[in-house]
Structure 1
């Protein structure tokens, strides 16, 4: 199945998430559901992120995706799968997960979430793009990186932060 609609995926991660939740459709209030469409450029990804208020079930419509999540501490076990059109995968509530388009053609997936507003925390954006920035020494120690690497990552992610309204 191919899609006639293709969202713009010309960004640093090569994906576009189009969300339908209670903010777009107030009638979803109290229903405990929301939906997203994810368009992937060739080799694009939906980078590691978490939904603090909802489990996600993903179905691939087009393309081939490498997907996975990491279990909680102390195990931190990576669970992965390669998905093809029609395949389904579940990401448990609150766990860090990702999707990556393995192909040289666009991919499309839809995901249902068990919350009218599941929230999203994109890990790299939150850690390196926070406002105000996290003290580089904290991140240097946490990630075992050179301070110059941390400040470079902060400059990249902070420059790409959306302007406050």
Structure 2
């Protein structure tokens, strides 16, 4: 599921969130499956775990930054990946969820709207605004990158 990855910015943390969600689901699996498909429950729990992981990572990064250190994990990512994750993080949580579920998880508009508990019209509005914000943030990041390259030359 791409949602935890987009929230954590790290595949290993996202996998941990999904594994933890399934571990939490296992003791109550019979009750979850009796009510229908447990996918939604597992997705919400994984999302909450991923958000917690992201917040802890952000707080660690801010603490390192305050102490003059940089995060080693950022160096491992491609510039495009870093820019996309940074742009996604600048979106509001509802916008980020809509973009990730619709574009990265390839869910239909109706499924995303149902997952988020909003109307399809609201979802379309969120996606439109989120795309505009993403474009703005990615163009801004590209301009900053070009400026750094020019200064380094």
TM-score tier after normalising by the smaller chain length? 0.3 to 0.5
Whichever structure has more strand as a proportion of its residues is 1
Whichever structure has more helix as a proportion of its residues is 2
The normalised TM-score by structure 1 is 0.33
